Chains A and B, each alone.
Chain A
Amino acid sequence: MIDFSVYETQVPHISGFKCLNCGTIYYPAPMLCKKCDKKRDPTTGKGWEEFDLEGPCKLLTWTRVWNLPEGFNKKFLMFGMVEFPNGLRASGRIELEGDPVMGMALTASVIEADERPGKPVKVFIFS
């Protein structure tokens, strides 16, 4: 029987982190909990829970950038800052027809992108 689960691991994710000692959540990953001082060991992850950070979110602000940096060959890209229902915030790219509106509901997903020099990276898409 063929094990297709290997393909599931290739779906890109961006993680939020929860301190299991006090319940405080973070994005991106901290090295210690600012509320209870619990240390996070990135090799074992012991005492911390990782969870996927995606789904519904609210747009806080946005811009359309016309002078993109090295690696990008597009005329422009839109970027935004969003807040998730759990209170975590994130920055990423916006893909919408027309101009976004501050406060609008969006959905965050994650892709793998390789425009910039170096290895492919995980990128938020807010749409």
Chain B
Amino acid sequence: MAPRVGIVGIGHCRFGNSSDYDLVDVIAYSANDALQDAGGLELRKQVDQVFVGNMAAGMFNHVTSAASALVSRMDMEPVPAELIENGPASGASAIRMGYMAIASGMADVVLVAAGEVMRSVSGWEATNIVATMSHTEAEYNMGLTLPGFAGMFTRLYMEKYGMTERDLALVAVKDHANGALNKYSHVQIPVTIDAIADGESANVVNNYVAEPLRMYSTCPISDGSAAVILVNMDSPKAKLFRKKAIRIAGMGAATDTHCVHNRKDPLVLDAVRLSSQMAYKMAGIGPADISFAELHDAFVIFELLNSEEVGFFERGKSFIGVRNHETEIGGRIPINTSGGLKAKGHPVGATGVSQVVELVRQLRGEAEEGRQVKDPKYGMAVNFGGFGNNVITTILAKD
């Protein structure tokens, strides 16, 4: 029987602009934060394995082998260390590798740290670098970008289900309300529906990025890092840590076609549905048991689609749930309590770990006043790699 794996330490920096700092220092900041949360920096000597999540430091920062650099920077040699890259799901993949290292018996304590410094280049260059995850010949070469795909995707959804641009804005208003209360958010200013949809100046404030997606339908380009300490809850080492472990109850991962146009129905995110079904099965629960969720919303349409694929809403009905306030804190199923990628920010390689840090904060009852979910039992995170073609779902439980 595989050991129980739990999270005993979390670390996070404020997302935003860290382009004046070295990438490895940015990642080490959150790793130190996680060790201190777990009980002290000396606990780094108990770590059996380090996994670092990062998507594109080679292109953004001219840095490779960031895992080797991190252990040296943190005085952790000779601990084994590897870099995990899975596009914007690099962070969740690194946690999944950590879980597998402990479940296999090869490690009892794993440090997972992830980070990205994207603002070292212009937005023009960053958009190009992120687009390299698409199919080279059939997508990237055409000039397409992730916002471009999200725009086409959103138009299909609006045409099929009758969603409006105002519905997209309602998601953004909810996410920014949560993000404004989160000390780690890139954007800590709430927005009103009048400012970005209903008012006379809305078209100027909230201009088009990739029609029908507007600026407030799209995440900012952010720098930042996050870290977690995983432990074998059944090993003697578990007693070394101060915090009660939050258990990883379920994990699932699935892939889909690289080319978006090759999916039978481009609006169906098979990898999200399959990865969440795997995670539910492993945890022995269903969608109704989830208390709150962090759903990958690089574009707000993803939050809506993900909430349908994981079973919180019927297909084509999620935006009705947003209209009815069901996804707000205090609603039936609070979504993106951290502010999500939309407001908290999306340093691509760090996002998956950041989502899990938010799950732990909520399950411990440590979220800021005004955005703490009442007595949560299970939290879910969905992290996208590519345009929904490599997805990791994680379910944490408070035992």
Contact = CB atoms under 8 A, between A and B. Distances in A.
Interface string A103-127: 0000000000101110001111000
B143 A81 contact: no
Nearest to B125: A70
Contacts of B128: 69-71, 116-117
Contact of B143 (A27, A61, A90, A115): A115
B211 A81 contact: no
Interface residues of B, number: 37
Given A65-B210, A69-B127, A28 B143 contact: no
B159 interface: yes
Q: Classify the secondary structure of A's interface with B.
A: strand
B144 A79 contact: yes
A102 interface: yes
Interface string A47-91: 000000000000011111111111110000101110000000111
A113 B145 CA distance: 16
Interface stretch (B166-174, B257-265, B388-396): B257-265
B210 A67 contact: yes
Interface string B140-161: 1111110110011101100100
Q: Classify the secondary structure of B's interface with A.
A: helix
B155 A91 contact: no
Contacts of A93: 142-143
Contact of B127 (A28, A63, A70): A70
B208 interface: yes
A62 B208 contact: no
B399 interface: no
A68 B152 contact: no
Contacts of B143: 68-69, 72, 77, 79, 93, 113, 115-116, 123
B127 A121 contact: no
Interface in A25-62: 27-29, 60-62
B141 A122 contact: yes
Nearest to A81: B261
B209 interface: yes
A17 to B, nearest CB: 12
B139 A91 contact: yes
B152 A62 contact: yes
Nearest to A27: B138
Contacts, number: 109
B182 to A, nearest CB: 26
A55 B127 CA distance: 31
A65 B261 contact: no
Contacts of B155: 61-63, 102
Contact of A91 (B156, B209, B260): B260
A61 to B, nearest CB: 4
B209 A81 contact: no
Nearest to B159: A102
A61 B124 contact: no
Contacts of A79: 142-144, 148, 151-152
A8 B135 CA distance: 28
B208 A66 contact: yes
A63 B211 contact: yes
B298 to A, nearest CB: 14
Contact of B266 (A27, A68, A81, A121): A81
Given A71-B128, A81-B152, A63 B138 contact: no
Interface string B192-214: 00000000000000011111110
Nearest to B137: A28
Most buried by A among B131, B138, B143: B143
Given A80-B152, A91-B261, A102-B155, A66 B138 contact: no
Given A61-B156, A69-B128, A71-B128, A28 B135 contact: yes
8 contacts: A27-B138, A65-B145, A67-B147, A68-B145, A79-B143, A79-B152, A81-B152, A117-B128
Closest 9 CB pairs of A and B: A63-B151, A70-B128, A69-B128, A121-B141, A89-B261, A69-B127, A28-B138, A61-B152, A64-B211
Interface of A: 27-29, 60-72, 77, 79-81, 89-93, 102, 113, 115-117, 121-124
